[in-house]
Amino acid sequence: MTALVLVEVENGEVRQASRSAIAAASRFGDVDALVFGEGADAAARLPGIARVLSVPSLANELAEPAAALLASRAKDYSHIVAAASATGKNILPRLAGLLDVQPIPDVIEIKDAETFVRPIYAGNALATVRSADSIKVLTVRGSNFDPVAKDGGSAPIETLDAPAGETSAFVKVELSTSDRPELESARVVISGGKGMKDAANFKLLEPIADKMNAAIGASRAAVDSGFAPNEMQVGQTGKIVAPELYIAVGLSGAIQHLAGMKDSRVIVAINADPEAPIFKVADYGIVGDLFQILPELEKSL
């Protein structure tokens, strides 16, 4: 069997989530990588890659042409895999529709080539599913698979043309820049909730994050209130993280947020409400005023 992995490249490097997807796909046999835009060379250096399919003319990963291209190559593969990222969740369901197969999202464990484990009910239960489709289309959670190394391979590169006739068009992209680690791969994450009260107070997290080399996250309530941008959202409808240390500040612990971080190795909660649900999953809890605790934590660090 051969698997095809949709590989995401950012700033000249393959994203950790995609390297985890490659590790997962290697369970099925040989692995080919598909790269849109630039970055084929970075993918070719990954260990375990048999061949890289490069589509330099499709730099913006639009779902319509990307899914059409994948569908045209699908017959050569038993499994098509992507990270459970915004890109993977955008493209692979459309591909599954074109192939008339059932997509299997958010896989956290691979039992065998046909059997997978995925969370349901916001992570409160795990479902073991078996697919009889001839082509399995799945996204995997990067936090549940150890990523392959960045170097060690030398796969050949084959260049493909983007399919013609698709009607979607790229307009623009707006990206925020940060020197901090990527949220999904950071060793430490500190997140703020609605208890931060406003966007200005969110900056209280920054000096602590800088001292701990941590990424900054946010709850959905904080994002919806305009305290933080959407790309910082952690949770079922945001990013799934599982760092070594997760610090939840002013964050009640709604079920959709817990679904995105409860697999963290150590969870620290800071909240004025001793009955907040976040304390039920926290390893350490501090009940108190975050506006007093954060400056003391920064000073101690």
Q: Is 201 annotated as a binding residue?
A: no
Q: Is 251 annotated as a binding residue?
A: yes
Q: Check the annotation: does 256 bind a ligand.
A: yes
| Structural tokens at position 231 | 């790309």
Q: According to the annotation, is 35 in a ligand binding site?
A: no
Residue 257 known to bind ligand: yes
103 close to 93: Cβ distance less than 8 angstroms: yes
Q: How far apart are CA 48 and CA 233, in angstroms?
A: 32
52-73 burial by CB neighbour count: b if 16+ within 10 A, else e? bbbbeebeebbbebbbbbbbee
Counting every residue written for the chain, the total comes to 301
Judge whether 90 is annotated as a binding position. Answer: no
H helices present in 100-232, as ranges = 199-202, 205-212, 220-224
165 is in an annotated binding site: no
Measured distance CA(11)–CA(39) in Å, rounded: 9
Q: Would the annotation count 233 as a binding residue? A: yes
80 among annotated binding-site residues: no
The response to whether 16 counts as a known ligand-binding position is no
Which strand ranges, in their side-by-side order, compose the sheet holding 284-287? 215-218, 188-192, 245-249, 266-271, 284-287
Q: Which residues are registered as beta bridge partners of 49? A: 31
Tokens of 15: 């994203």
Was 37 annotated as part of a binding site?
no
Beta bridge partner(s), residue 286: 270
| 220 marked as binding residue | yes
Q: Is residue 271 part of an annotated ligand binding site?
A: yes
Query: Is 294 annotated in some ligand binding site?
Result: no
Binding residues, as ranges, are: 219-220, 233-237, 250-257, 271
Binding residues for FAD, as ranges, are: 219-220, 233-237, 250-257, 271
